[in-house]
Structure 1
Amino acid sequence: MSGLKRNTARLFSNRGKLFALAMDLPQLGIVKGLEDPVGLIREHEKSKLDAFLCNVGIAQIAEAELLHKKLLLRTSSAGTNLASEMTNIHRNHVSPERALAIGADAVVMMFFVGGNDYASGQDVAAAIDAYHRLEIPVIVEIMAYDNNLTQTFETQVNGARSAAELGADVIKAFYTERFDEVIAQCPVPIILAGGPKGVHVEDMARDAVTNGIKGFCFGRNLYQIEDAAERIDRLDAILRG
């Protein structure tokens, strides 16, 4: 077994599943619930979460707090909330060597599909190749060039398969109708993204697990609610039974 396969398998070392708290949104600017990211990690470091998804700055600041959890490192970015226009190309800005030095268990990047998606696809493919040279697993999150289309079946089923064909080790996908087909047509594990706050997250999670999802990576539906610890316990029970 190669180092890459071993490292990918370790992401799912807790009964074959991966449960992560996504904290990477503030690369766009201030986000409610993430005003004190290190404090949030401390709050949940003994929870049933397996991992935290962080940007490089927080990963460095919270090194001690992350010691006993897996680190999923966001390596792509595309400006801030103050930008005059949004882009559908998220460039990777963390080198494989830096990710390895920080201790990342995997890296996470976005793939924008639809529209003129050639540049995004080429950037993702080149980044996957670079990280794989150092046996670092790559998780690719599927987005649409028009954000209103992200949580559609066509975006997720085609994006997940395309990213897997480009070499992604794990896909981070958004829940859609016919989600069982998204999973069935993707040859690598899929973890579920949380989507906007307010969705019926536990019902969504339960259906996704029934369809074969391998994990959760939720953000606002955890850190922007009052009973986050209780919801984490309930979601863990849904995920691992």
Structure 2
Amino acid sequence: MGKYKRLQHILRPDDRTVIVAMDHGGTSGPMPGIVNPEITLQQVIAGGADAILTTVGVAKNFERVLGSTGLIIRLDFPATDLVTGVYDCELFIEVEEAVRLGADAVILSAGPGQGVERKTLKNLSRVAQECERYGMPLIAEMYPGGFNGPAEMITIDNLKLAARIAAEWGADMVKMPYRPGFDAVTAGCYIPIVVLGGAKTNNEEIFFTNIWDALRNGAQGVAIGRNIWGHPQPARVLKVLNALVHEKTDVATAMAHLVK
């Protein structure tokens, strides 16, 4: 009970979603674009974000700004920017705290791979059981090789494995990287998948084309941070994303919103 109702605050009636990720301050500090979370939240919510993925601190301090927008709380912590080579994320927040904050879903990072899967997949299973008790949807952010793991680990075969593992161990949605051939990933996973935005890019056409390809190959939305709030016009980027995700327009038509 409760999961379906909460998911309706994240997924629109078309079962698709545009999620703005704003959890970066918890590891990278006041990055350009999120120095003032209140202003950024106002911009992206006005621009058409379906849900905000953020930290307990942002959720607690900007509750009124978030309003009725879908809220996803991050439960775990990988490492700050001062640390390298640490990918086995630690759980910092309990599901109960997310319930008190009015969350519509929680998210944690996990993934198969040497040195990371024993801890992260155990976290996934334990939190999934806790989410069942509270009726809280769980989003698994799945990285083959671990959070910020080796780029060569992000292959279609490894993404297929990671997505299916998330479904089998109790997640309700998957957030993961995109690679060409993504239909093989969605075909083997029976829960919704949203693709993440990745590192900040200046090649907007390739960025939006990759999203369009993921969507036409079964992805049900996006969860993007820096490529939205790190852009000079976040609301225009959101118009493009909403056109791709919800209106199912082609890339050229959607990108016209950048200049309107």
TM over 0.5: yes
Identity among equivalent positions (%) equals 26
TM-score, reference length from structure 2: 0.86
* CA offsets 1:38-74 (integer angstroms, 9 cap, x no match): 2100122222111111111111111000012110111
- Alignment equivalent of 1:219, drawn from 215, 221, 225: 225
Using the alignment, how far apart are the partners of 2:40 and 2:230 within structure 1? 11
Distance 2:185 2:208 in 1: 19
- Superposed CA deviations along residues 150-173 of structure 1, whole A, max 9, x for unmatched, are 532233111111011000000001
Correspondence 1:3-18 to 2 at 5 A: 3-18=2-17
Question: Retained in 1: the 8 A contact 2:44–2:234?
Answer: no
The aligned residue for residue 68 of structure 1 is 68
Aligned residues of 1:164 and 1:188 also touching (Cα < 8 A): yes
- Where does residue 55 of structure 1 map in the other structure? 55
1:202 pairs with 2:202 = no
Counterpart in the other structure of 2:183: 180
Q: Distance in 2 between matches of 1:14 and 1:227?
A: 27
Give me the whole-angstrom Cα distance separating, in 1, the residues matched to 2:32 and 2:159.
27
User: Structure 1 pair 233/193, CA: closer, same or farther in 2 (3 Å)?
Assistant: same
SS of the aligned residue for 1:22 comes to strand
Q: Deviation at 1:125?
A: 0.7
Moved more, 121-130 or 111-120: 111-120
Deviates more, 1:10-19 or 1:44-53: 10-19
Q: Distance in 1 between matches of 2:140 and 2:232?
A: 30
- In 2, the alpha carbon distance for the partners of 1:106 and 1:93 equals 16
Are 1:45 and 1:68, in contact at CA under 8 Å, matched by a contact in 2? no
1:65 partner SS: helix
1:150–1:103 distance in 2 versus 1, CA, 3 Å: farther
Query: Is contact 1:89–1:112 with CA below 8 Å preserved after alignment?
Result: no
Would you say the 8 A contact 2:47–2:236 is kept in 1?
A: no
Q: Secondary structure at the match of 1:162?
A: helix
What are the ranges of 5 or more consecutive residues in structure 1 without an aligned counterpart? none
Q: SS where residue 221 of structure 1 aligns? A: helix
Once residues 115 and 178 of structure 1 are traced to their aligned partners in structure 2, the CA distance between those partners, rounded to angstroms, is 25
Cα distance in 2, alignment partners of residues 187 and 9 from structure 1: 18
* TM-score when normalising by structure 1: 0.93
8 A Cα contact 1:110 1:142, kept in partner? yes
Match in the other structure for 1:86: 85
Matched-pair contact (CA < 8 Å) for 2:195–2:221: yes
Question: What residue is the counterpart of 2:251 in the other structure?
Answer: none
Give the one of 153, 158, 162 matched to 2:161. 158
Change (3 A) 1:73 1:215: same
| Distance apart, 1:10 and its partner CA | 4.4
Cα distance in structure 2, aligned partners of 1:225 and 1:43: 12
Q: Which amino acid aligns with 1:131?
A: C
Using the alignment, how far apart are the partners of 2:190 and 2:169 within structure 1?
A: 12
The CA distance in 2 between the partners of 1:174 and 1:79, in whole Å, is 19
C-alpha distance after superposition, 1:73-97 (max 9, x if no partner): 11110231123x4322212221121
